[in-house]
Amino acid sequence: MKPKGVFYLMVLLFVCFVVSGADGAPVYKERPVAQGIMQKYVANQAIVKLAPEAIDRVGLQPQTVHGRKEAVIEATNGRIKSAALRQGLARLKAKHLNVTALSDAELIKRHFRTGRTGDFRFLREYALIEFGEGVDFFGIASDLRTVPGVLAAYPHTCTEKYVTPNDPWYDGEPNGINPQWHLIRISLPNVWNTYKGQNNPDIIVGVVEDCGVNLTHLDLAANVHPNSESGIFYGDTHGTMVAGVTCAVTNNGNAIAGASWNSRFLVSHTEGDPGWWAAIFAIADIAHLCDVLNYSWGGLDATWTDDFWTGVDNLGTIQIAAAGNENYNLDDPNIEHRPSEHPKVFPVGGTNISDFYWYDPFTGQGTNRKLGMLYAPGSRIITTTGTENNSNLITDPVRGVNGTSFSAPLVAGVAALMRVKNPNLTTETCRSILLNSADNVLLNPSTWEYGKRLNAERALDQTPSGAPKIAIAPVPEGYTLEQNFPNPFNPVTSISFALPVPTSCAIRIYNLQGQEVRVITLEGLNAGRHSIRWDGLDGRGVPVSSGVYLYELRTQTGFFATRKLLFLK
């Protein structure tokens, strides 16, 4: 995918360009960004902004997905057309021998769907450039910025997850205090008498993680949205813990209660990549489907993403972010923390069981702070854990954890309940209510510093009631089987179809020899448009070979239709 001596020009989700080089392995380093503060970055990569005239423009094509008409930004001609840009990068190679040459040899296509046309279109002008082994961004940054057509160049910094090591005394019931003391502290039990996530299954919480979420966890599985990415794990259980705080299955006689009382959650992950580039793609995949997005990670040197957070807000999605565990004062003008310090994102700091700032004297980690920020419990939070082996869940289904990673999803759960009460609640109104309804608590007894700590009961009391969002889709006049999208595809494609009457049906995939490869049975569907995803696996879970396949829709009412699709590896 990343051959030697070639830069790929990759048009991704937002019609951005990705230039790939040498061996493709990221090299991580750290550098100081303020006194005593280090920032991790990918040494052999850079984020660049390209002049509009340096690249071919790509148009928008409408596409109906998930039962609504959405904008599809898809690359059909993403090659660099500026000779000056091409020559400038060639000169860069000559000066820094390990930087590979730029070439139009291959174009890799992906797509991005959004419910609002053009919300992220500005990202078409950004590129992720990857250099050869031994090159450091800060060694070539000044030269890179002088290349004609390159308007700006930024280091590709990494996000950080906000969790500290678990100490034994945080597990179990601490000294007679309710293990889930944090739910009682923010008055959630009083809210659950009236508002529960299960009362409106259309309210969806998005969980974006680099390490994935255990979607088969005994106390999570029932609340997983069907469009969630598969439960792949990349080294830790951070995502499983975060999901449990907000959306653990509640009132099922097992393990713990989630803050939102059975809201559905939708997972998108970055396959273990901690970089901002992968993070914004993972968010963009699900932002248009979510009422609330939780970011239990963040970092510095990422102000180039600012328009992106505004674009997510334009979708009407409430964004909640952990403030971080570095013990920073975010009022310091030298520290620009993202996404938490963006004005369209709601930052959340952490408190301990005494309502003081959360701080761990053993690790030196503590909540980041900012004047006027909301705080929520972030110490001794009992939540779900476990990875790929469900047998672990029998003896260790939950764990006590610490950090703002677990303060943020508490607020996300309350925001979901606010959307249950009023699905049309604006993002700005939600943020204002959460802050104005909070308890005034003593955060630092040595300085008599007070601040705002989440109060769920008052937040719901102050949320105005609203009529549910009702989208009445016209009943199709006849049966249709649409062309899959994208096509060709790798690794996933969507197959959409329309039913004029309620019925059951099946989608069958055949190879050109007529052998059945996969069957997807759909029982009791209502009249209307429907969509399923095929992940390129056969009935045994084995990836199919590249080539042309047939897909057939057959209903109980006797309708059937067949189309072709192309799978490429």
Give the start-to-end residue ranges of the domains of the chain. 7-157, 161-462, 480-567
- What pLDDT was estimated at residue 222? 84
| E strand residue ranges, 28-74 | 28-34, 37-50, 60-65, 68-74
Residue 411, classed as helix, strand or coil, is helix
What is the mean predicted confidence (pLDDT) over 277-284? Answer: 85
Q: Is residue 28 pLDDT above 50, yes or no?
A: yes
Better-predicted residue by pLDDT, 100 or 91:
91
Specify the fold of 480-567: Immunoglobulin-like (2.60.40)
Is 214 in contact with 232 (CB distance < 8 Å)? no
pLDDT at 235 over 80: no
pLDDT of residue 506: 92
* pLDDT surpassing 60 at residue 377: yes
- Residues with Cβ within 8 Å of 446's Cβ and at least 6 positions away in sequence, in order, are none
Give tens-digit pLDDT for 176-201: 455 778 888 998 888 888 888 888 88
Question: What does each C-alpha distance from 532 to 9, 227, 529 come to in angstroms?
Answer: 30, 9, 11
List the beta strands (DSSP E) in 76-222: 102-109, 111-114, 126-130, 150-157, 160-161, 204-209
How far is 490 from 30, CA to CA, in rounded Å? 35
* pLDDT at residue 473, as a whole number: 56
Interval 507-525 mean pLDDT:
90
pLDDT greater at residue 532 or residue 86: 532
470 φ, ψ (degrees, to nearest 5) = -120, 115
**pTM greater than the 0.95 cutoff:** no
What is the reported pLDDT for 161? 60
Amino acid at 473: A
Q: For the domain covering 161-462, report its CATH number.
A: 3.40.50.200
Average pLDDT taken over every residue of the chain:
75
Q: Which of 49, 217, 22, 214 lies closest to 147, judged by CA?
A: 49
Reference 414, options 196, 566, 568, 119; nearest CA is 196
